[in-house]
Amino acid sequence: MSYLTLSITLIFVVIPLLLSKTLNLGLGRDMIVATLRSIVQLLAVGYVLKFVFDSESLIYIFLMVTLMIVAATHNAQKKGAAIQGITSKVAVTLVSVEVLTQGILLGFNITPATAQYIIPISGMVIGNSMVLSILFLNRFTSEIESHQDETELILSLGGTPKQAIHTQLINSIKASMIPTIESQKTVGLVQLPGMMSGQIIAGADPIQAVQFQLLIMFLLLTTAAVTSVMLGFLSYPTLFNQRMQLMEKDLN
C-alpha cells in the first residue's frame, strides 16, 4: 500500500469526527489525539521492527519485549493504585506470562526463535495480559468495596484473609476472563481476528493463517487465566495487615 492510498483511509477517521461534531459527543479531540498517536506509534514501531529484524540480535529482541512490559505495566497499574506495591505485582505477572508462553513456544519448537515471531507474539500476549490486568483490578477493587461487610463478617467469625476475600477474588478472576472466553466462542462466526485477516490480505494461505490464529487464541486463553489468577493471589494479601485486619483504604 502506498502512503497516498493510506492517506485516503483517513476518510474513516473523518466520518466519526463528523458524527461527533454533529451530535455534540465531545469526542473529536480524543479521536484526533488517538489517530495521531496511532500513526506516530505504529510508524515508529514499524521502523524499529525493521531494524530489529534486520539486525537479528537477541539483545534488541530483549529490549523490545522489556519496553512492551514497562509500557503495559505503567498503563495497568493505574487501575490498582490503591493496592500496595501494585506496579511490581503487575510487572511480575507480565514477565511470568511472557516467560511461560515463550518458554512453551520456543521449548517445543512451535515457533522459531527469531524476532519475526517472538516480537509480534509477545506484543499480543503482553497486550492481552495488560487488558486482563486492567479488567481484573477494576473489578477486584469494586468487589472489595461493595462486599466490605461480607469480608468483615468472615474475619469476625474467625476466618482468614484468604477466606474473607475468596468470593470477591473468584468473582473478579471469572469476570476478567469472560471477554476472552466469549470472544473465542464466536471467532470465525462473528468476526475474523485481526492477525488472521492481516495474513490473508498479505497473501498467506488461509489455512496457515487459521493455524496461527488458533495458536494465538490458545496462548491468549493461558494469558488470561495466568494473569488474573496470579495478579489476584499477589494482590489480596496486601489488603490485610498482620493482625488479619482489613486495611482501610479509598479504593477509587
Partner 1 sequence: MSVNYKPAVHFNHVDFSFGKTPILKGITGSFPEGKITTLVGPSGAGKTTLLKLCNGLLSPQSGEVYIKDRPIEDYEPVELRRLVGIALQSAPMVGGTVYKNLCLPLELQGKSLSKAEAEELLHDVGLEVELLERKVKDLSGGQRQKVSIARTLVNKPAVLLLDEITSSLDRTSLKEIEELIVKINRKYGTTIIWITHNLQQALEIGDFTWVMMDGEVVETGESDLLNDPANDQVRRFVRGEAE
Tally of residues, the chain: 252
Assign 1 to helix, strand or coil.
Answer: coil
**243 in contact with partner 1 (CB under 8 A):** yes
- The C-alpha atoms of residue 238 and residue 229 are separated, in whole angstroms, by 15
What type of residue sits at position 6? L
**163 in contact with partner 1 (CB under 8 A):** yes
Q: State the cell numbers at 169.
A: 477474588
Residues touching partner 1, count (CB under 8 A): 18
164-183 residues in contact with partner 1 (CB under 8 A) are 167
**189 in contact with partner 1 (CB under 8 A):** no
- The C-alpha atoms of residue 61 and residue 249 are separated, in whole angstroms, by 40
Q: Which of 23, 59, 203, 248 binds partner 1 (CB under 8 A)?
A: 248
**66 in contact with partner 1 (CB under 8 A):** no
Binding mask 119-158 for partner 1 (x = CB under 8 A): ------------------------------xx-xxxxxxx
C-alpha triplet 115, 117, 123: angle, nearest 5°? 90
**250 in contact with partner 1 (CB under 8 A):** no
Q: How far is the CB of 137 from partner 1 (least distance, A)?
A: 24
Contacts 24+ apart (CB under 8 A), 15-22: none
Sign of the alpha-carbon torsion through 69, 70, 71, 75:
positive
Q: Which of 160, 191, 197, 211 binds partner 1 (CB under 8 A)?
A: 160
- The C-alpha atoms of residue 153 and residue 130 are separated, in whole angstroms, by 33
Q: State the cell numbers at 110.
A: 512451535
Stretch that binds partner 1, among 58-66, 138-146, 219-227, 242-250 (CB under 8 A): 242-250
- Of 117 and 162, nearer to partner 1 (C-beta) is 162
Q: How far is the CB of 152 from partner 1 (least distance, A)?
A: 6
Per-residue DSSP letter, 83: S
**245 in contact with partner 1 (CB under 8 A):** yes
Contact set with partner 1 (CB under 8 A): 149-150, 152-160, 163, 167, 243-246, 248
